[in-house]
Structure 1
Amino acid sequence: SQRVRYLRRNSYNRQQFLHFDSDLGYYVADTEFGEPEAKKWNSDGTADRMKVEVEGFCRYNYEIFEG
């Protein structure tokens, strides 16, 4: 199976302030505004749910389209 990378970017007023990178497995703050959310989402299980989405949704659909 091929490697799948999932990026989810969160923006406000056209500026990216936070992103999730499945290669890292956690949220990263891109600005000071995103620091509290990154800390919260990395500790409350949100990052864990994103990792599950990569395996259950992204990889599954990749295999369908490539199969």
Structure 2
Amino acid sequence: SQRVRYLRRNSYNRQQFLHFDSDLGYYVADTELGGPTAKQWNSDGTADRMKVEADRFCRHNYEIFEG
């Protein structure tokens, strides 16, 4: 099985304020605006769902394109 990295970037007004990195396994605030959202999403199960998405969606599609 190949290593797959999933990045999800959240932007507001064309500025990235928050991102999820599957290598870290949690959301990171890129600006002050993203702080409360990162804290909430890391504690309410959203980050856990993103980890599952990395395996379910990204790894599956990687295997299709590399297969």
TM-score between the two structures when normalised by the length of structure 2: 0.97
TM-score between the two structures when normalised by the length of structure 1: 0.97
Gaps of 5+ in 1: none
> Does structure 1 residue 40 correspond to structure 2 residue 31?
no
Q: 4+ runs of 1 displaced by more than 3 Å?
A: none
Q: Residue 17 of structure 1 aligns with which residue?
A: 17
C-alpha root-mean-square deviation of aligned residues, in Å?
0.5
1:45 deviation in Å? 0.3
1:63 deviation in Å? 0.5
Percent identity, aligned pairs only, is: 88
Gaps of 5+ in 2: none
CA distance in 2, matches of 1:3, 1:27: 20
State the AA in 2 paired with 1:36.
P
When the two structures are aligned, how many residues end up with a matched partner? 67
